[in-house]
Amino acid sequence: MRSRFCCIGGAYAMAAAENEIKIGQVDDVQELHRTGLTTVPDRYIRDGDDRPDGDNVCALAHIPVIDVGDLPRGDDELDKLRLACEEWGFFQVVNHGIAHELLDEMEKLTREFFMLPLEEKEKYPMAPGGIQGYGHAFVFSEDQKLDWCNMLALGVEPASIRQPKLWPTAPARFRETLEAYSAEVRKLCRTLLAHIAETLGLAPATFGDMFGEAVQAVRMNFYPPCPRPELVMGLSAHSDGSAVTVLQQDMSCAGLQVRSKAGAWVPVHPVQHALVVNLGDTLEVLTNGRYKSVEHRAVVNGEQDRLSVVTFYAPAYDVELGPLPEFVTDEAPCRYRRFNHGEYSRHYVTSRLEGKKTLEFAMVNPPVGR
């Protein structure tokens, strides 16, 4: 089976003649659910240590909520943002400026896409080892455990990373709505990065100027009910390779979980029309670890399905990254080497999701013995 590695769209593509990928039987989990199965195929059953652990879930904790409209008005909300970045690496945003009607329409059309017959969705196939289209991402071997999730992933900006043949033509207005939605989320990412720069004592334009023509991609995740949710993962634990990630989740149930500093998994309870924001590996590198990307995962439900729309915002592929001089001192020596962001992106999308292991690529002194 031939495939190609893609860095969110083809800016970095490598023919698979030298790296043939065999991923074995990969079932569509929505189709499995529709059969009314009462057991779970072995490829989805996790080993004991890799299952959702009820004893290690702190359901009472909550990630911070930031009012974006208050950020320019004074230090209080900016201090809340700084603490959220330092203590959590995750927060929800309200008063973010994106029309609720647009959020609702994006969710509605995304759900309609996933409800299409399988043969319709398979018109937009994700190639083995690829990162765009409909299917399972981050699968690279026949014996790899699979996530209980269907995905539609698309490159959005710049135009060079798009694969138009993978943009669904149904449901009607899907493409038009995704264009409008992505433009609004892009504005929000720029606004948030300007305020995050302020919390670090940097000029607001620091990251915007540095990132060039920023890369933006969207991934829509659908998690159908599972007969044995305690045995599977909706999405394996990982950090994001982006600078910031913006996630819209439906109100059905809490499925996203964030790893706290104490090591517990904290559910992110949906707030109507709020968006979840997290810091990615790029900001951890640029701040020399002052702000860290944080592991997160998705769990599934036995009765309810769940939907999320995730936008990744990152520097242009030709940008060179490394810790900014402001964050390298005798007390905080340089933890990350300098590297090309496209090189890191290619490494990220051709690696399976394993916590923060992909970030070892950038570390001056990666952990030994892993």
Cis omega (within 30 of 0) on the bond before 227?
Answer: no
Question: What is the pLDDT at residue 12?
Answer: 33
Do 341 and 314 touch, CB atoms closer than 8 A?
Answer: yes
Share of the chain above pLDDT 90, in %: 75
Where residue 244 falls among pLDDT bands split at 50, 70, 90?
very high
Q: Which of 212-216, 348-352, 365-369 has the highest mean pLDDT?
A: 212-216
Where residue 339 falls among pLDDT bands split at 50, 70, 90?
very high
Question: What is the pLDDT at residue 177?
Answer: 98
User: Does position 64 have pLDDT exceeding 60, yes or no?
Assistant: yes
pTM confidence score = 0.92
Q: List C-alpha distances in Å: 351 to 59, 131, 361.
A: 30, 11, 11
Q: Name the residue ranges covered by the structural domains of the chain.
A: 44-361
Question: What is the pLDDT at residue 213?
Answer: 95
User: Does position 4 have pLDDT exceeding 70, yes or no?
Assistant: no
Mean pLDDT on 158-173: 96
CATH superfamily of 44-361: B-lactam Antibiotic, Isopenicillin N Synthase; Chain (2.60.120.330)
Mean pLDDT on 233-241: 94
Question: What is the pLDDT at residue 369?
Answer: 56
Question: What is the pLDDT at residue 83?
Answer: 97
Question: What is the pLDDT at residue 367?
Answer: 82
Q: List C-alpha distances in Å: 85 to 54, 213, 293.
A: 26, 24, 9
Q: List C-alpha distances in Å: 128 to 19, 69, 173, 322.
A: 11, 43, 28, 31
Share of the chain above pLDDT 70, in %: 93
